[in-house]
Amino acid sequence: MSGGALRLTGLTRVHGKGSVPALADVDLEVPAGSCVAVLGPSGSGKSTVLRLTAGLDEPTAGSVHLDGVDLAGVLPERRGMAMVFQRPLLFPHLSVRDNVAFADRVRGAPRRAARRRAEEFLELVQLGGYGGRPARALSGGQEQRVALARALAAEPRVLLLDEPFSALDARLREEMHELLAGLRMRLDPTILLVTHDHAEAAALADRVAVLDGGRLLQAGPMRELYARPASLAVSRLLGGRTEVAGVVRDGRHESPLGALDLAAPVPDGPAVLVVRHEAVRVTTAADPAADAVGTAVRVRPRGLRALVTVEVTGDGRTATVDAELGPGEDVATGRTVGLRLPVADRWVVPVDHDAPAQPVPSPSDA
């Protein structure tokens, strides 16, 4: 199997006259053999992207190109695409093997040949030996493997995955991630994956497109989005927790945390400092390298690494910074601590009036 190059241009879907677009003017490239994740909250238009790509729904405007060919008017079954949904949608009364062989049989392949190919794809998803079982006898994770084998057996130019692992528990989900990574090495498919889980996008995709309210907010490699979100909305969708309102003056961000140098030049004016909790280090109040000193107001254990919220007061105003502690590190609530915010991990985004940053109390009510 070799994947095709997918290009979505100005893709728009409006369901009713005067209603808010489910998808608005989305441009997205999925290079051949790559995996692109569409990441967004529920209702953001993720499934709409897949349905329009697959031809299950028609765009109000815009186009879908596969290897340079416009797919307008091309029937879903002629697009060379296969989809895997959150629910596996197997035929429960058929054997696992015949579920995978189904597409070949419909296309008129002889039963024996179709079953032989089905077995090959079952091997690929590590279900060799399960072919004779009835599909209803499988666990959720196994069902999803069969759904994946069935999709791959169609040898699609593009594999469309609509939150296929979100119903699985964490351990199974991780197994599926490893399986998919292995399949990518062996088959080189083009994958458009939809997920609401930024960790899943980070684990699987070469590039990520962040969708909210039907609009594409930002696209790029996941590391870049984590480190340099274009907006507060992107920062939040990627699990960013710290938002410190302030003002940029002469390349420094001024806030209750003090005047902090920024790694990149930023124009003067109001701006929100964001910094990943994974990058912040909690030290002692006496730490000469601390960028700010504050009080630990909340500590939440998260496995080996606790998450601590530190309140910092400056100029009569208060800001909070979240930090992930190192394994085994602990901080008591109420303790005064130092915070190190590495320059490379500081980033500012514009003030978002629709999604106000953490309220900044005025000096009078502090």
CB of 69 to Mg ion, least distance (A): 27
| The binder of ligand ADP chosen from 44, 99, 235, 320 (CB under 6 A) | 44
Residue 158 or 323: the one with the smaller Cβ distance to ligand ADP is: 158
Residue 44 or 95: the one with the smaller Cβ distance to ligand ADP is: 44
Q: CA–CA separation, 45 vs 223, rounded Å?
A: 23
Residue 48 or 309: the one with the smaller Cβ distance to Mg ion is: 48
Please state, as a whole number, how many other Cβ atoms lie within 10 Å of the Cβ of residue 128.
12
| The binder of ligand ADP chosen from 3, 4, 40, 294 (CB under 6 A) | 40
One-character DSSP codes across 193-251: EEES-HHHHHHH-SEEEEEETTEEEEEE-HHHHHHS-SSHHHHHHTT--EEEEEEEETT
Q: Is 61 exposed, middle or buried (0-12, 13-18, 19+ CB in 10 A)?
A: middle
Q: Is 242 one of the binding residues for ligand ADP (CB under 6 A)?
A: no
Residue 44 touches which of ligand ADP, Mg ion, none (Cβ within 5-8 Å per kind): ligand ADP
| The binder of ligand ADP chosen from 43, 129, 270, 350 (CB under 6 A) | 43
Residue 14 or 172: the one with the smaller Cβ distance to ligand ADP is: 14
Which one of 44-52, 125-133, 277-285, 324-332 is the stretch in contact with Mg ion (CB under 5 A)? 44-52
# residues near ligand ADP by CB under 6 A: 10
In contact, 352 and 230? CB cutoff 8 Å: no
Residue 10 or 43: the one with the smaller Cβ distance to ligand ADP is: 43
Residue 47 or 99: the one with the smaller Cβ distance to Mg ion is: 47
Q: CA–CA separation, 237 vs 256, rounded Å?
A: 25
| The binder of Mg ion chosen from 34, 44, 47, 231 (CB under 5 A) | 47
In contact, 67 and 28? CB cutoff 8 Å: no
Residue 3 or 45: the one with the smaller Cβ distance to ligand ADP is: 45
Residue 45 touches which of ligand ADP, Mg ion, none (Cβ within 5-8 Å per kind): ligand ADP
Q: Is 318 one of the binding residues for Mg ion (CB under 5 A)?
A: no
Residue 362 touches which of ligand ADP, Mg ion, none (Cβ within 5-8 Å per kind): none
Site string for ligand ADP, 1-20 (x = CB under 6 A): --------------x-----
# residues near Mg ion by CB under 5 A: 2
| The binder of ligand ADP chosen from 45, 59, 62, 88 (CB under 6 A) | 45
Q: Is 255 one of the binding residues for Mg ion (CB under 5 A)?
A: no
| Closest residue to Mg ion: CB criterion | 47
Q: What is the dihedral of CA 231, 216, 67, 121, to 10 degrees?
A: 90
Q: CA–CA separation, 123 vs 216, rounded Å?
A: 38
Q: Is 111 one of the binding residues for ligand ADP (CB under 6 A)?
A: no
Residue 48 or 320: the one with the smaller Cβ distance to ligand ADP is: 48
Residue entry with tokens 């989305």? 26
Q: CA–CA separation, 357 vs 351, rounded Å?
A: 7
Instruction: Please give, one letter per residue, the 3-state secondary structure of 18-69.
Output: CCCCCEEEEEEEECCCCEEEEECCCCCCHHHHHHHHHCCCCCCEEEEEECCE
Our measurement of the distance from residue 185's CA atom to the centroid of its chain's CA atoms, rounded to an integer in Å, reads 21
Half-sphere exposure of 108 (CA within 13 A, CB side): 0
Q: Is 195 one of the binding residues for ligand ADP (CB under 6 A)?
A: no
Note the residues at the interface with ligand ADP (CB under 6 A): 15, 22, 40, 42-48
Note the residues at the interface with Mg ion (CB under 5 A): 46-47
